Amino acid sequence: MGEIWAIILAAGESKRMGFPKMLLNFNGKSMLERVIENVTGSNIDNTLVVLGAEKEKITELIIKSNVILCYNDNYKLGMLSSVKCGIINIPVNCNAVLVFQGDQPFITSGVTNTVIEAFNSSEKEIVIPVNNKKRGHPLMIGRKYFYKIKDLNDNEGLRSLAQLFPDDVLEVETEDQEILRDFDTYEEYLKEINQKM
């Protein structure tokens, strides 16, 4: 069995936030560092972080982390362009990827391991964690669909892959609501940080 890689998307411009949200503080570490910490603490074999906007600041922040970095020249085209960049930069022996958003610092290693276990014990090639019938992250995709990701329209997004191949999708129920939670505005960050810290 080939390796399982994580692709962390950290290339966005954070337009709604007004400044780089990956750098926001979460109890002494940045949001992105927390995401990396949770991902690398799971049963992932390797982790690739896709950078774009503010790449110098973010690189300086995470350069000592146990991750591989790549740069998305097309990051202004949206999130799917970063997924494509990640897929292009993973090795040929990669059997599957889990796609994480860089603004979801509360997704635990346990949730990631649950998704991996479900993938390994199933014949399905697309595995999605679900909470209260809502699909969240990380999305896990087998190698057979890597070429399909490269062909997806940037306006459609990665979710369209599951819509194209519904018979190959496995939903994994989890009680963890954090699979649905991200940060788009500073107000959301303040509200969450007051509740969590």
Residue 151's pLDDT is 87
Residue 48's pLDDT is 97
DSSP 161: H
Cα torsion 89, 92, 97, 101 to 10°: value is 0
Please spell the DSSP secondary structure of 64-118, one letter per residue: TSS-EEEE-TTGGG-HHHHHHHHHHTS-TTEEEEEEEETT-TT--HHHHHHHHHH
What confidence tens digit (pLDDT) does each residue in 60-86 have?
A: 888 888 899 999 999 888 889 999 999
Q: Could you tell me the two tokens for 127?
A: 């595995």
Residue 54's pLDDT is 84
Residue 14's pLDDT is 61
Nearest to 98 by CA among 144, 46, 32: 46
Asked if 28 contacts 197 with a C-beta cutoff of 8 angstroms, the reply is no
Residue 43's pLDDT is 95
pLDDT-based confidence at 58, cuts 50/70/90? confident
What confidence tens digit (pLDDT) does each residue in 3-26 have?
A: 999 999 998 866 666 566 778 877
Taking the whole predicted model, whether its pTM rises above 0.95 is answered as no
Residues 6+ apart with CB under 8 A from 155: 78
In this structure, are strands 94-101 and 29-30 parallel, antiparallel, or unpaired?
unpaired
